[in-house]
Structure 1
Amino acid sequence: MVGHRLRRQFYCFLFHNPVLQDELFATSYMVKPRVLCGIRTLFFVYCFTVLTSNLIVNIVHGAGWNWAAYFTTLTYFGITLYYGVAAFTTMRFLKKQLWAAQQRAEAIDEVRTPDSGMQLVDVETKQTEESQRVYVVPSVAHQLALASQWLLYETFTCYAPLVTLIYWVLLFPTQSDMLDVPLDQWMGISMHAINCLFMITEVLCSKIPYRWSHFSAVVVFLAMYLGLAYFMVAVYGFYVYPFFESRYFGGYIALLCLLIVNIVAIVWVVMLMVHRLRDIVLPRWLMRRQRATFF
């Protein structure tokens, strides 16, 4: 009974959720879908290159599993995965648009009268019937891709400022000598500064919304990472970050973790307000631009 109810709720979330639509995940207020697809693909290639380079460097230096335990690495992996999924969904949306345009063109050709060859007969009715005929029910995999993109987007845009803030305020003053090599400088700036640039670009270009209820997922991921950090201490005797060690803060690690959660909550509220403002201002700006172009 419980399993049936959960499956029903999961099905309703995927197929009856007004947010899980291609238009919200594959279109933009600022640019056309083709441009958005190009931006996301370019960012995916860049992030994948940075992540691969970081992995190779850590393998060469014998970092082992320690490389995968850093919060920066995990969040950057999430950014890379997000842009991969986003590029895929945008490409699929463009392909579906192209296919629908071809179907409409064929429908227009079919309603031409044989006498004149150019006069259209009841085009609106025919196009409506054709649009209903070519509608394809989205698959479970497609809806899961949109849901994954939504979750990755919210965590990516929330964690990116946190990573940048903690690194440049707490870690960089004591680890600045580690960025003497140009390759390390490029990777460090890419993972701790350019990630925020990607975040700002995606927030401005996308239509993906924020939801209050999803903040719990962000906190759960933070708790899971805290468990991973102390798992590394218990198994390998390795502190991922020095501020997790009790001697640095006199045993007030719990207060530090609570402070980090509060910072994430503040970032979440700010991002929520930014998204609400974006969804109000940008459509009005787009409407004014269209009117100015029309007149």
Structure 2
Amino acid sequence: MKLLGVSSPFDPTNRFQTSSILSPVVLACARLLIACYIFAALFYRIARSAAFDGSHSTRDSFSYFTNLTYWGLGCYFAAAAMHTLVYAFSGRAPLERWPKVLQFLHSLLYTTIITFPPLVTVVYWTILAPDESPFSTLYSAWSNISFHALNSVFAIFEILIPRTERPPWLHIPFLILILAGYLGVAYITKATKGFYTYSFLNPDKNGSGSVAAYVFGIAAAICVVFVIVWLIVWLRLVLCEKVFGLKGKFSSKARGGRGDGWRGEHGKLTEEKELP
């Protein structure tokens, strides 16, 4: 399970809830603010669709990978904010007591929200945007910036600010499986609703060979994105914890470490840096 991001004990130094530069309370508030913006954007689009097209766009929205990843971002930031607030005021996060399978799913969710948004951004602005008019109206400009640009900004926040470890390499097959599952959703949408969610998936327009090239190209792209993100996280860990000696800002309620006879990594860190 450790290779999948589930150690025993899980996250003993509360890397998911702490930062090298922000206190747990500030980190929780920042995550909550991001979650509020994401859900405000999603619910505004739902309300606008209800007012202008009888919710037709809303009914189609879950067929789009962009929207699915945006909902994933919102859910992650809301859950992460809750865990961080609980940790800030109690010294322990609810995540520590969850079953292993839920800890794995949380770790995998973190990996998806730091890899899928950059993929969405790159695919949209390089493949789809040239055939559209992303800034033709004020609403379309705001929508495309929020869903195809700020999504990566939010991902970068989670890559750089928390003390999270590098995503496990064994998460790559799961990322590819998720993309394969979405491919099924896209073609089910075509069969049931009569439209392709993304033009590059249309074999009538592009040919089967081009569609296959796009599919395998995106699968390869998520692997490249994963490697880049892994390296950035590794660099952040080296710079913060080795070069600058920033061991993290912990909850004032936390005492010592967990696991390894209370002599684990968290204990070592708190010996070097007094808890705030």
TM range (shorter): 0.7 to 0.9
What amino acid sits opposite 1:216 in the alignment?
P
Residue 21 (structure 2) pairs with residue 30 (structure 1): yes
1:47 is displaced (CA, Å) by: 0.6
2:188 aligns with 231
CA contact (8 A) 2:116 2:222 kept: yes
Identity of counterpart residues, as a percentage?
Answer: 28
Residues 78, 30 of structure 1: CA spacing in aligned structure 2 closer, same or farther, 3 A cutoff? same
Q: Choose 1 or 2 for highest CA Rg.
A: 1
1:200 aligns with 156
Q: Decide which of 43, 46, 52 is 2:43's aligned counterpart.
A: 52
**Considering only aligned residues, what root-mean-square deviation do their CA atoms show, in Å?**
2.8
CA contact (8 A) 1:150 1:208 kept: no
What amino acid sits opposite 2:220 in the alignment?
N
Higher relative CO (CA 8 A, sep ≥ 6), structure 1 or 2? 2
CA contact (8 A) 1:204 1:278 kept: yes
Distance (Å, rounded) in 1 between the aligned partners of 2:240 and 2:95: 30
Residues 23, 186 of structure 1: CA spacing in aligned structure 2 closer, same or farther, 3 A cutoff? same
SS in 1 for 2:208: coil
What amino acid sits opposite 1:280 in the alignment?
V
Aligned pairs for 1:1-295 within 5 A: 17-21=8-12, 23-59=14-50, 60-61=52-53, 62-97=56-91, 138-140=96-98, 146-176=103-133, 179-209=135-165, 210-252=167-209, 253-287=211-245
Identify unmatched segments of 5+ residues in structure 2.
Answer: 249-271
Distance (Å, rounded) in 2 between the aligned partners of 1:25 and 1:137: 9
Distance (Å, rounded) in 2 between the aligned partners of 1:51 and 1:162: 20
TM-score by length of 2: 0.79
What amino acid sits opposite 2:217 in the alignment?
L
Counting matched residue pairs gives: 242
What amino acid sits opposite 1:65 in the alignment?
R
Distance (Å, rounded) in 2 between the aligned partners of 1:179 and 1:276: 36
1:27 is displaced (CA, Å) by: 0.2
Task: Give the helix-richer structure, 1 or 2.
Answer: 1
TM-score by length of 1: 0.74
SS in 1 for 2:69: helix
Distance (Å, rounded) in 2 between the aligned partners of 1:289 and 1:236: 53
SS in 2 for 1:287: coil
